Amino acid sequence: MSRQTVGRCIEASRQQGLVTIRINSPLLFATELESLLEKEFRLKEAVVVSPAVEGDEAVKEALGKAGAEFLERRISASDTLGVAWGSTVLEVGRQLKRTKCRGVTIVQLNGSMDVGRYSTRAEYMVNLYAEAFNAQMVTFSAPMLVDRPEILKSLVSDSRIAAALKTARRTNIALFGVGDVSEASSPYKVGYYDQKLLDSVQRDGAVGEICGRFYDAHGQPCSPKQDQRTLAIELENLKQKALSIAVSGSPHKVEAILGMLRGHYCNVLITDEETAKALLSKSGHLGEMPGGGPDS
């Protein structure tokens, strides 16, 4: 049914006293922004949250709750869900409630990142999802970025890693965050990406990364030298998913998210209100909102 038909049915049912509506979600959603994002970027669904307070942590918590609620209503029996490590995807996992599912499999989409005080804890994250959905786990204990291409070739020749990657490519649902390419990015801050790597991918025109794979402002894959050292599913593989879900927000990630949308790597976007307005403003369609303009 269309949204308009659903709306008319609900209103008629309310007037007849057949149904009452109680909203249990603590989140607020900007429905006009959602509709515009879906139209502009040809998305199956957009979810826009309005955090109760300002700050990156509040945004991340709101995105985590929204991502968890989305998965809880969309995951069904026999689905295979691939998850790419990241702090926002981890927050989604923390917010998940246990659901009664059968035959679900949770799969790791890219290698781990362990350095200094920071760890992606990929296996821990996958386990959070597996516990929530009573699911089987498929993981591979290997780094996302290796020193040389020949090391990667050796890793993927291992039967267990090859089998895990094959399963990751076949997942029908993918969940991932979007990273920017700057000194503000978490991998750079903790030393996983050094200045040499950052300079190299920036020269290649990279504005963002998904699963450790870089792309430019038009959404085209770039930095082939880094690709040859990266243990992860390919960006093109994300386009094959029934649901390819990007969970990302914050002003410094707007260019990265916009490039991702132009590359059509997701068909579901979960983001915050400020980021949604910036994305629509850059695409020239924010003025279509009632009142128009970024400050309305």
Q: What's residue 293's pLDDT?
A: 47
Domains of the chain: 27-288 (3.40.50.1360)
CA dihedral sign of residues 116, 120, 122, 123:
positive
Angle between helices 273-283 and 31-41 (to 10 degrees): 40
Bridge partners (DSSP) listed for residue 272: 49
pLDDT in tens, 114-127: 665 555 567 888 99
Residue 29 CB neighbour total at 10 angstroms: 16
Residue 295 has pLDDT above 80, yes or no: no
Contact (CB, 8 A) for 135 and 206:
no
Q: Is 219 left (phi over 0), alpha (psi -120 to 50) or beta?
A: left
Residue 194 DSSP class: -
Query: What 3-state class would DSSP assign to 74?
Result: helix
Measured from the Cβ of residue 48, the count of other Cβ atoms closer than 10 Å reads 26
Using CA atoms, how far apart are residues 237 and 241, in angstroms rounded to an integer?
A: 7
pTM: 0.86
Residues of the chain with pLDDT > 90, as a percent, come to: 67
pLDDT tens figures, 34-61: 999 999 999 999 999 988 778 888 899 9
Mean pLDDT score, 122-142: 91
The predicted pLDDT at position 121 comes to 67
